[in-house]
């Protein structure tokens, strides 16, 4: 590796070594690091604590025409927890192996992207490039737990309003082939708990309407639905983000005893939790009906509760998605810029899980999910998350090209996609 590249990789490793794992992320460590980077690059920086101890770090590269809507490059500073003993290299060592793979929690999700933004800016600045539009880079907390104290408050703030943002880039997913994946929307999380009650009884007795039987009937029904959705994906008829996913995440029942559970007692209560993800264009009413009639019918002594239920629609009743046609110039600009840097984009997709991009889209802004990682296994939230250094360096070139194209775009763009509704 040339001298320059090893310095770039070592800065990436430094960021990865800061333990920002939920539930107690080292946000002040991350802030110190990001601000020290901003200083050496020559970017203005600001920390906004909408919630104490959870800073939104905002960097700014002023453009020559501050009247044009600005560009926002967003990333989150937190990462999910890691089970240390199940990793081949400790998750916060950022170990670089002989093949160039860098192992760390956050190497894909999404400290890579945050640092790639900064490295791209550093190079552009050094080359003498001048942006026309102002460029902002935000590092937000708490994405992994829903972003309520981070991007959600940020997107709704006066500070954000003043930034006059026209387009947001946020995270995507690694691609296992040579085409980068790119996302225009995301599925909405519905975290459902269903609860069954029934008559308790002797473990030897066959009878109807026990809590366990009632719950199992629901689970069977939910699993049939799950299979019907999964089959569409397996048959290649639908993309991952276009079906409703339903996965059971907990089961809770039984009567505890000092040695485990009482074995000859059928319990009077049983419950199960499901992580459901609903595509932006899905029929919510249909799903609700299914839930009321088949998954948790009161006729079977069942109740349900949502731990979280995010609507697929915005305040105008429209799906929360970013346009991918001619009405959104940022799409073709992105395509062109990636191509110019010798990269290829796949077909725009719906992100299968949730990201902070939703909060920007809810404001009526276009937001594109994109993490430039091609030919890479998808390891976010998994053990042994890694990114190859060559792929990381390639991503920096991709962002250089995007930042050039975006900040140089001088056509008048509206920064309010809902103008028609308003
Ligand atoms: C919906 S709050 C949790 C957000 C989380 N985001 C990334 O994994 C997700 O589970 O999609
Ligand atoms: Zn993420
Ligand atoms: Zn994540």
How large is the ipTM? 0.97
Whether the pLDDT of residue 419 is over 50: the answer is no
Whether the pLDDT of residue 393 is over 60: the answer is yes
Query: pLDDT tens digits for 233-284?
Result: 999 999 999 999 999 999 999 999 999 999 999 999 999 999 999 999 999 9
CB-CB contact of 345 with 179 (8 Å): yes
Per the annotation, does 148 bind a ligand? no
pLDDT for position 337: 98
**Residue 381 pLDDT grade (very low, low, confident, very high; cuts 50, 70, 90):** very high
Whether the pLDDT of residue 318 is over 80: the answer is yes
Structure tokens at 288: 């609700």
275 Cα nearest atom in ligand 1: 10
Q: How far is CA 152 from CA 48, 194, 216, 358, in A?
A: 13, 28, 38, 9
Per the annotation, does 144 bind a ligand? yes
Query: pLDDT tens digits for 120-165?
Result: 999 999 999 999 999 999 999 999 999 999 999 999 999 999 999 9
Q: Find the 72 Cα to ligand 1 centroid distance in Å.
A: 21
CB-CB contact of 168 with 369 (8 Å): no
Question: Which residues 6+ apart lie within 8 Å of 76 measured at CB?
Answer: 110, 114, 139, 140, 141, 142, 143, 144, 147, 150, 151, 171, 356
**Residue 414 pLDDT grade (very low, low, confident, very high; cuts 50, 70, 90):** low
Query: pLDDT tens digits for 63-117?
Result: 999 999 999 999 999 999 999 999 999 999 999 999 999 999 999 999 999 999 9
pLDDT for position 420: 47
CB-CB contact of 74 with 151 (8 Å): yes
Q: Find the 173 Cα to ligand 3 centroid distance in Å.
A: 10
Per the annotation, does 202 bind a ligand? no
pLDDT for position 146: 96
Distance CA 312, CA 282 (A): 8
Q: Distance between terminal CA atoms of the chain?
A: 54
If one compares 52 and 2, the residue with the highest pLDDT of the two is 52
Whether the pLDDT of residue 418 is over 80: the answer is no
Q: Find the 399 Cα to ligand 2 centroid distance in Å.
A: 18
- CB of residue 170 inside a 6 A radius of ligand 1: no
Whether the pLDDT of residue 320 is over 70: the answer is yes
Q: Which residues have C-beta under 5 Å from ligand 2, the single-atom ion?
A: 109-110, 171
Tell me the best of 147, 150, 353 to mutate to test the pocket of ligand 1, counting ligand atoms within 8 Å of each CB and taking the most: 353
- In which element (H, E) is residue 191 found? strand 188-197
Give which of 351, 343, 382 is closest to 368, Cα–Cα.
Answer: 351
Instruction: Look over the chain and give the mean of its residue pLDDT values, rounded to a whole number.
Output: 96
Q: Find the 110 Cα to ligand 2 centroid distance in Å.
A: 5
CB-CB contact of 402 with 338 (8 Å): yes
Whether the pLDDT of residue 8 is over 90: the answer is yes
Q: Is 387 helix (H, G, I), strand (E, B) or coil?
A: strand
pLDDT for position 3: 61
Q: Find the 232 Cα to ligand 3 centroid distance in Å.
A: 25
Nearest alpha carbon, ligand 1 atom 3: 146
Nearest ligand by distance to the CA of 113? 2
Structure tokens at 390: 């060559």
Could you give the residue numbers annotated as active site? 78, 143
pLDDT for position 422: 41
Distance CA 244, CA 223 (A): 12
191 Cα nearest atom in ligand 1: 1
Distance CA 6, CA 12 (A): 10
Per the annotation, does 381 bind a ligand? yes
Write the DSSP symbol of residue 272. Answer: E
Whether the pLDDT of residue 2 is over 80: the answer is no
Task: Tell me what percent of the residues of the chain surpass a pLDDT of 70.
Answer: 97
Nearest alpha carbon, ligand 1 atom 9: 354
pLDDT for position 411: 85
φ, ψ at 53 (rounded to 5°): 80, 0
Whether the pLDDT of residue 417 is over 70: the answer is no
Question: Which residues 6+ apart lie within 8 Å of 121 measured at CB?
Answer: 41, 43, 61, 135, 137, 403
354 Cα nearest atom in ligand 1: 11
Per the annotation, does 294 bind a ligand? no
* Sign of the alpha-carbon dihedral angle for 393, 394, 400, 406: negative
pLDDT for position 421: 46
Task: Tell me what percent of the residues of the chain surpass a pLDDT of 90.
Answer: 96
- CB of residue 245 inside a 6 A radius of ligand 1: no
Nearest alpha carbon, ligand 1 atom 1: 146
Whether the pLDDT of residue 193 is over 80: the answer is yes
pTM: 0.94
189 Cα nearest atom in ligand 1: 1
pLDDT for position 385: 98
Nearest ligand by distance to the CA of 173? 2
What is the length of the chain?
422
The b-or-e profile of 301-317 (16+ CB within 10 A means b, else e) is bbebeeeeebebebeee
């Amino acid at each position: 590796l040339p001298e320059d590249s090893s310095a770039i990789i070592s800065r990436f490793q430094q960021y990865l070594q800061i333990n920002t794992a939920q539930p107690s992320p080292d946000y002040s460590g991350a802030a110190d690091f990001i601000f020290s980077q901003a200083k050496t690059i020559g970017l203005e920086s600001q920390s906004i604590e909408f919630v104490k101890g959870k800073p939104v770090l905002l960097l700014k590269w002023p453009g020559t025409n501050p009247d044009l809507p600005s560009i926002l490059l967003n990333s989150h500073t937190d990462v999910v927890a890691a089970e240390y003993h199940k990793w081949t290299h400790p998750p916060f060592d950022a170990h670089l192996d002989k093949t160039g793979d860098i192992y760390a929690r956050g190497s894909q999700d999404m400290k890579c992207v945050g640092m790639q933004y900064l490295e791209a800016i550093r190079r552009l600045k050094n080359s003498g490039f001048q942006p026309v539009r102002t460029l902002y880079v935000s590092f937000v907390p708490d994405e992994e737990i829903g972003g309520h104290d981070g991007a959600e408050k940020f997107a709704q703030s006066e500070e954000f309003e003043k930034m006059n943002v026209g387009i947001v880039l946020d995270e995507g997913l690694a691609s296992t082939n040579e085409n980068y994946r790119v996302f225009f929307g995301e599925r909405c999380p519905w975290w459902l708990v269903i609860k069954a009650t029934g008559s308790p009884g002797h473990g030897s007795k066959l009878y109807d309407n026990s809590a366990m039987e009632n719950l199992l009937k629901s689970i069977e029904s939910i699993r049939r639905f799950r299979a019907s959705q999964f089959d569409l994906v397996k048959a290649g008829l639908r993309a991952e983000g276009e079906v409703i996913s339903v996965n059971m995440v907990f089961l809770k029942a039984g009567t505890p005893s000092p040695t485990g559970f009482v074995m000859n007692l059928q319990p009077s209560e049983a419950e199960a939790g499901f992580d459901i993800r609903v595509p932006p264009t899905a029929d919510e009413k249909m799903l609700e009906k299914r839930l009321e009639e088949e998954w948790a019918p009161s006729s079977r002594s069942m109740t349900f509760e949502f731990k979280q239920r995010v609507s697929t629609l915005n305040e105008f009743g429209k799906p929360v998605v970013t346009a991918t046609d001619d009405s959104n110039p940022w799409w073709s600009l992105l395509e062109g810029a990636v191509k110019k840097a010798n990269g290829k984009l796949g077909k725009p997709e719906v992100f299968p899980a949730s990201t902070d991009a939703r909060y920007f889209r809810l404001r009526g802004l276009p937001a594109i999910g994109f993490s430039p990682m091609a030919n890479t296994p998808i390891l976010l939230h998994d053990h042994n998350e890694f990114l190859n250094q060559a792929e990381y360096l390639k991503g920096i070139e991709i962002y250089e090209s995007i930042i050039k194209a975006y900040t140089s775009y001088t056509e008048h763009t509206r920064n309010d996609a809902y103008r028609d509704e308003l």
